[in-house]
Structure 1
């Protein structure tokens, strides 16, 4: 988990993003600012500033690893699947590397941090143009 958190240095804020959005965890106060570039309705580049615990940082890195090439609809579906999983569904959602933070599922106070990057993406992509 800690190794994933270190990867955030590879995703600095973007100079001129197509859109930017923020999210904050109600449970722990963690925050994320997410920048995206869009191309043909898909994420083509991301940058972020994450202020979170190791779980939130790792979740953001896992999100960043696999968000490129995904549409807003795909990210929304992933968010809903992760939310259902955190609420008790036994099936691990189909998002690569999510197993790296799966142990944090047992700690409800960390759920907000785990969802943070997907919430920021939804806030960001709801205002992003289709390309840019």
Structure 2
């Protein structure tokens, strides 16, 4: 019997997303949508003098998988660079697509392993990383 797609741990992640709420006067903002499922994530970032994420604000409208992914991204985004977020975004996308055997070095992403068999959900899972990376990459100096 296959393990259920949603379990208590995943639902707990989905229900406890850190950094919810938009930032006032962010250095960078990006909104990403998944046309397949209608999920949407908006990310606001403020960078410190070393161009690392100092503050993060999220608005998440997604399924439990997208929300869980938002939790995993947001829980470890502070102190990261735009390049680190982009690397995590790309590794996650490749893992979900079956192009690599692991989700990369971002903590906790292996908790989404069961979703690999559900390509229709991949867009929602990628959105938080896509939005945060785009916001950080677009941040003004």
2:107 is paired with a residue of what secondary structure? coil
Q: Cα distance, 1:38 vs. partner?
A: 0.5
Aligned length: 130
TM (normalized to structure 1)? 0.91
Uncovered stretches (5+) of structure 1, i.e. residues with no partner: none
TM-score, normalisation: structure 2: 0.86
Partner Cα separation in structure 1 for residue 101 and residue 27 of structure 2: 36
Match for residue 63 of structure 2? 53
CA RMSD after TM alignment: 1.4
> Which 4+ runs in 1 deviate beyond 4 A?
none
Distance 1:10 1:77, change over 3 A: closer
CA distance in 2, matches of 1:10, 1:70: 15
1:14 corresponds to which residue?
Answer: 23
- SS of equivalent to 2:31: strand
Q: Counterparts of 2:22 and 2:39 in 1: how far apart (Å)?
A: 17
Matched, 1:123 2:139: no
